[in-house]
Chains A and B, each alone.
Chain A
Amino acid sequence: MDYLLTDEQRMLVELAQQIAEERIKPVRAELDEHEIFPTEIMQDLAQADLFGVIIPEEYGGLGLGTLENCLVLEALATACVGVATTYAASFLGAYPLLLFGSEAQKQKYLPILARGEQLSAFALTESQAGSDASAIQTVAVRDGDHYVLNGTKQWITNAGEAGIYTLVAMTDRSKGARGASAFLVEVGDPGVSFGKKEQKMGIRASTTREIILQDVRLPADRLISKEGMGFIIAMKTLDHSRPGVGALAVGLAQGALTEAVTFARQRHQFGSPIISFQAIQHMLADMATAVEAGRALVYSVARYIDSHPKDFGRQSAMSKLFATDMAMKVTTDAVQILGGHGYMREYPVEKMMRDAKILQIFEGTNQILRNVIGLALNKEFGKKAK
């Protein structure tokens, strides 16, 4: 399919594909097996300027948009979603700054992120606050011209590896979600420590840890925007980042489809390559159709976001929901087509199936996303009825 990409976008895809092919594919099985954080690949991505994709040029970035971000994520995810998630999570951490940061905050942190000198991470989830983000227990208490933070963030991608964290804490618990605020926390801030590395089912090249905050005294200028904006900042961040998760899913599913077709052409049973059997052909046809539909939706939503509409939470949720459910099915079917081979770690598709599952869970479970879409529909038709 031709999605009418510009020359610049094609060059970006070509570069990301080269890194996926030459740097990620040869090591992905080892990174997965031994849960190795992909430090060298992050350095390659930095050398390639790819940490600057969505960061404006005045802060040393490339000044590109959501579509370009999605194109890079898709290309990297064809090789390994664990590596691509590590890279993507850094943008998740950068969005609160990009969208709501002060000029001084942007000048201080964005050039470092654009150069890939440090990774960032976004910390919202806690043990009691997952889908219900308003149940956050971490508190930030104003003390003169400082805030003192206490609490524990859970399952934070890049925790311990990143240098810069954007983190949501309650400044006024009596106000519920409206009492949440967003802060910039640096890895070296006294009182910041990290829990053990979580052992995950998939995306095992990525690092997931707790962030433990014990009397962390932050200067007041680490507050992003104003007190009480934390929940809105988090929701807007996720609205922007979700098509990227959709793009990870499209890349992953494309990778699985490629493996399945390649295998089906080579594997002989009953004297013929198994791709000659309609049972296999129909599965592959459904997989290919689903991948293309997912890609078309992700690109469309990304382009829509880049046109700067007022509200795009529903479209963003749709792109993540559809593409990640699709990737779960396509990777599962890829394992089925490879049969016993597919179940073995010698082939990459079992890893792809394990990696797919998290995409339906993080950055808003697909059930929560259906809530977002459902509520938006109700609101829209409610307005029309008036």
Chain B
Amino acid sequence: MNIIVCIKQVPETQEVRLDPVTHTLKREGVKSIINPFDLYALEEGLRVREARGGRVTVLTMGPPQAESALREALTYGADQAVLLSDKAFAGADTWATSLTLARGIAKLGGADLVFCGKQAIDGDTAQVGPEVATFLDIPYVSWARRLEFAADGLLRVERLLDHGYDLLEVDLPALITVVKEINEPRVPSFKAKLKAKSAPIPVYGAADLDLDPATVGLTGSYTQVVKVFPPPARGQRERLSGTPEEMAARLWQRMQAAVQR
């Protein structure tokens, strides 16, 4: 089984800072990590490989330094890693990113299963996985919390919802985005760490993927970011006290005053 896991390198921080001019994330001085949800995607890919045989390839699109995320992915036991990197890819929105990743997957000969994390912790769009599947013209299931191969060759997927789950069956090839409930990622192995240090990582640019530079990166993006701002800090709060009747009366007064204003 040919398995491709798409990962993203993201800044390790809860306090994302924005550049007020370019509206992009400030990455200087912030440690980069593999998007945490992608580690669950990688683990699921490794488990499918262990159960059913095959190869796991990790794939990312990013600047040259994204190679370090791929090397880290190799320490968990992925068989190979591929970087999609080109100045033309810079500034891509989810559409342009997904197109590029889909072409990268095609370049690798396609896959029986593509795994992605449910979303990245920096952009939080959750769009790239489904869009990659759409560009590849294969079905996808998002928010998978459990996979099971049925006897008829279909993949049975539990899709996590707010209350309960959907049980879906999907034909391969397919793309699956996973939630963290799906597994417990393993620790890296020392032998894999040694190998990862010097593993060759091929880099493909727009030309390698037969992509017109105008269709990728910032120029290929349909999204235009007009303004990015942190949500305003929560305003002054007031705590009402007294009996329930008193509090209800006071709250009603406030609501009336707010409507009249």
**A→B interface (CB under 8 Å):** 7-8, 11-12, 15, 18-19, 22-23, 44, 47-50, 52, 62
Contacts and interface: CB of A to CB of B under 8 A. Distances in A.
Contacts, number: 32
Interface string B178-196: 0000000011111101100
B190 A62 contact: yes
Given A11-B197, A48-B187, 4 more contacts: A8-B194, A11-B194, A48-B188, A52-B190
Contacts of A18: 187-188
Given A11-B193, A11-B194, A15-B193, A44 B188 contact: no
B186 A47 contact: yes
Contacts of B193: 11, 15
30 contacts: A7-B197, A11-B190, A11-B193, A11-B194, A11-B197, A12-B190, A15-B187, A15-B188, A15-B190, A15-B193, A18-B187, A18-B188, A19-B187, A22-B187, A23-B187, A44-B186, A44-B187, A47-B186, A47-B187, A47-B189, A48-B187, A48-B188, A48-B190, A49-B189, A49-B190, A49-B191, A50-B190, A52-B190, A62-B190, A62-B191
The range of chain B's interface size is under 10
Which has the most chain B C-beta neighbours within 10 Å: A18, A19, A22, A47?
Answer: A47
Nearest to B196: A11
Contacts of A49: 189-191
A293 B197 CA distance: 33
A19 B186 CA distance: 10
Contacts of B197: 7, 11
A68 B197 CA distance: 19
A50 B188 CA distance: 11
Contacts of B194: 8, 11
Nearest to B185: A22
Interface in B188-238: 188-191, 193-194, 197
A285 B147 CA distance: 55
A50 to B, nearest CB: 7
Contacts of A44: 186-187
Contacts of B188: 15, 18, 48
The 4 A-B residue pairs with the shortest CB-CB distance, nearest first, are: A49-B190, A44-B187, A49-B189, A48-B187
Contacts of A48: 187-190
A22 B189 CA distance: 15
Which has the most chain A C-beta neighbours within 10 Å: B187, B189, B191?
Answer: B187
